[in-house]
Structure 1
Amino acid sequence: MRAALAMSREAAHAVLDEDTLHALRKVVDLADGVLDDFTGDPLRDVELLITGWGCPPLDAAALAAAPKLRAIVHTAGSVRAHVTDACWDRGIEVTSAAAANAVPVAEYTLAMILLSGKRALERAREYRESRTRDDWPRDVGNYRRTVGILSASMIGRRVISLLRPHDLRILVHDPYVGDVEGAERVGLAELFARSDVVSVHTPLLPETRGLVSRGLIGSMRPDAVLINTARGAVVDQDALAEATGAGRLRAILDVTEPEVLPPAHPLWDDPHVLITPHLAGSQGNELGRLAALAVAEVTRWAAGDGFAHPLRRDRMGLIA
């Protein structure tokens, strides 16, 4: 079975080490090199395409030059940038490593929920500045705090599972899913009004842009925390900056809109805000988990067993 790699050369270098390439070559006839464009005739004999960050769009023109292509294995999360309607019209099977990428995002979220409950970052800064210790703080702790999960996505559900062993009340809002084990389903307004921490896991879709509105932000409890590892545009960032700037809320933002804020943006210097550089998703050695899942999917498909994590066209409107 002929297969090829299609992604940026930087992505290929980061995700696909020699052990991964060796494992792929054991189950498919892997073409040499990495495709970062589809000019010429590079897909003529390819049945399986292994894609990654930077893969060009597989539009009708690209598919016309790929008559044998039957499956796509994506070594990252979202396939929106390259899997087009033409792929679904052809009936091409698609899978991604979204399940693997969900792991570090959920781990990051759990850590930030627990650290924010202890006010660890603020207290460390105060301790460094004062060199004195408050042994009896009243505004810290995670015992019976209420955590709201916005969207029972793959990542959101994993966060809920990681939160279960802790003495926390867990709420979830997602109009597209039923009951979620370990969490109480509530409406959107109730989620924000009741939660000490709200963690955003909503994909950015036309209907979710600005979903976390000024009104919802204004309804949050004093000193509540908003954590966003989804997309910056899901949140009304101006309203959030006003709330944190006034000291009424705290925020932990792994994503912003734009992705890197202008140098003078007030969120940078706000002591109630922690901004991290989109590091929650797979980085460093965590990329090996993406590669391992991709190899497993290629192996299953080559053996005729189908994908363990298939993507469906009718679900594309609900995922990132």
Structure 2
Amino acid sequence: MSRPGIALAMHPGRTEHVLPDRLLDRLESLGRLLDREPLQTFADERARRLLSEMEILITGWGAPYVGRDVLSTAGGLKMIAHAAGTVKGLIDEDIFRAGIAVSHAAEANAVPVAEFTLAAILFAGKQVFRFRDTYVADRNRDRTHPMQRLTIGNYGRTVGIIGASRIGRRVIELLKPFNFKIILFDPTLSASECAAIGVEKADLDTLMRSADIVSLHAPSLPSTQHMIDAQGLALMKDGATLINTARGAIIDEAALLATLSTGRIDAIIDVTDPEIPEPASAFYDLPNVFLTPHIAGAVGLERTRLGEMAVDEIERYLTGQPLEYAITLADLDTIA
């Protein structure tokens, strides 16, 4: 039996550490790794040669669009293992209709996002950023000592999770060792299903009104666009913190910036809409905003989890086992 051809398609500058040598060696043991240098286009002669020989394609960040034109060249294509999160905007629906197995590594990317969120929640509860700014500005502790008497800290606080996604559920698990009350808004879950994962079901208004810290983990869909609006933000407690590691479009950002400008709430923002705010955006300047450049997901060595998950899926496929992280055409309507 001939060994299946395996090709890579991703941007090397965006995917360093995804497939270190040990994983490339493992791919060599599973099939014929046609070229260790990833494709960045499907239109040149090298790409046409590799596509004609491959059965398995590993994609990643910066991969060219996998459309119907790829099918005409890659007649033997049987599986795509995406060594990153969402496949939306990367893999055409015709690929699924052609019966090609598709897998993604969103579960691996969820790990660092959940870890980032846990750190953000703990820092928000303890008002770490405000202490830091005050201490650095004063260069003494005249104001930070009295701040310790405020009703801050992480004991007995209420954390509101919006969306029981794979990341939302991981965050819930990470929070369990702490003395938090966890409430969840997710219309797809019943009260008993929420109780089974250790949280209390709440409607969105109740969550926004009750939580000391609100963390967003819903997918970006037409139905969730601007689900956090001016009305919801107005319900938040004075001194509460909003954390967004999901997608910027979930929040009405004009309403968020208007609320933040009052100083009434704080925000930890890793994602915005547009992805990079305009240079004049108040996100950069407001003292009650901690802004990061979409780094909650896998960076640096964390990216190796993505490659490991993709190679594991390829091994399952080649040994006749079901894929653990398969994506179907129907899934595209609900995944992020």
Q: Does the alignment reach a TM-score above 0.5?
A: yes
Q: In the alignment, does 2:15 pair up with 1:7? A: no
Structure 1 residue 167 and structure 2 residue 171: aligned?
no
Tell me if the contact between 1:106 and 1:158 (Cα under 8 Å) persists in the aligned partners. Answer: yes
How many aligned residue pairs are there? 320
Q: Does 1:275 align with 2:291?
A: yes
For residues 239-278 of structure 1, the aligned pairs below 5 Å read 239-278=255-294
- Structure 1 unpaired stretches of 5+: none
Aligned partners of 1:13, 1:104: CA distance in 2, in Å? Answer: 16
Q: Does 1:68 align with 2:76?
A: yes
How far apart, CA to CA, are the structure 2 residues paired with 1:54 and 1:271?
34
Residue number among 129, 132, 148 corresponding to 2:160 in the alignment = 148
Q: Deviation string for 1:101-159 (max 9, x for gaps)?
A: 00000000001101110001111221222301415422311111111111100100000
In the alignment, the residues of structure 2 paired with residue 147 and residue 201 of structure 1 have an alpha-carbon distance, to the nearest angstrom, of 13
1:58–1:86 Cα contact (<8 Å) kept: no
Q: Does residue 107 of structure 1 match 2:115?
A: yes
Q: How does 1:215-226 map to 2 (within 5 A)?
A: 215-226=231-242
Task: Give the Cα–Cα distance (whole angstroms) in 2 for the partners of residues 45 and 283 of structure 1.
Answer: 32
Q: What residue in structure 2 maps to residue 25 of structure 1?
A: 28
> Partner residue of 1:46?
54
Deviation track 1:30-79 (CA, whole Å, cap 9, x = no partner) reads 11132112125231232111111122222112112222111110110011
Aligned-pair RMSD on alpha carbons? Answer: 1.4
The partner residue of 1:36 within 12, 36, 40 is 40
Distance 2:123 2:152 in 1: 10
Distance 1:231 1:289 in 2: 22
Equivalent residues of 1:12, 1:34 under 8 A apart: no
In the alignment, what sits opposite 2:208? 192
Which residue type is aligned with residue 36 of structure 1? Q
- What one-letter code is carried by the residue in structure 1 that aligns with 2:166? M
Q: CA deviation at 1:231?
A: 1.0
Percent identity between the two aligned chains: 40
How far apart are the structure 1 equivalents of 2:262 and 2:14?
Answer: 41
TM-superposition CA deviations, 1:184-214 (whole Å, max 9, x none): 1111221111111110111211221111111
Please give the alpha-carbon distance, in whole angstroms, between the structure 2 residues aligned to 1:141 and 1:134: 14
**Distance between the aligned counterparts of 1:93 and 1:298, measured in 2?**
10
* Displacement of 1:12: 4.6
Change (3 A) 1:182 1:224: same
Q: Which amino acid aligns with 1:134?
A: H
CA contact (8 A) 2:16 2:300 kept: no
AA matched with 1:203: P
Secondary structure of the corresponding residue to residue 238 of structure 2:
coil
Which shifted more, 134-143 or 229-238?
134-143
1:1-33 superposed Cα distances (whole Å, 9 cap, x missing partner): 111111123245442221111111111111113
For 2:7, the aligned partner's letter is A
Q: Is contact 2:156–2:181 with CA below 8 Å preserved after alignment? A: yes
How far apart in 1 are the matches of 2:15 and 2:108? 17
For 1:23, the aligned partner's letter is R
Could you tell me whether the CA contact under 8 Å between 1:301 and 1:307 is conserved in 2?
yes
Structure 1 residue 127 corresponds to structure 2 residue 135: yes
| Partner SS for 1:279 | coil
TM-score (norm 1): 0.96
* Structure 2 equivalent of residue 138 of structure 1: 150
TM-score for the superposition, normalised by structure 2: 0.91
Kindly provide the CA deviation profile for residues 141-187 of structure 1, in whole angstroms up to 9, marking residues without a partner as x: 11111111111001000000001111111111112234231111111
Distance in 1 (CA, whole Å) between partners of 2:287 and 2:39 is 45
| Counterpart residue type for residue 218 of structure 2 | T
- In terms of mean alpha carbon deviation, does 308-317 or 192-201 score higher? 308-317
Give the counterpart letter for 1:304 in structure 2: G
Match of residue 55 from structure 1: 63
Gaps of 5+ in 2: none
Q: Which amino acid aligns with 1:282?
A: A
Match of 2:170 in 1: 158
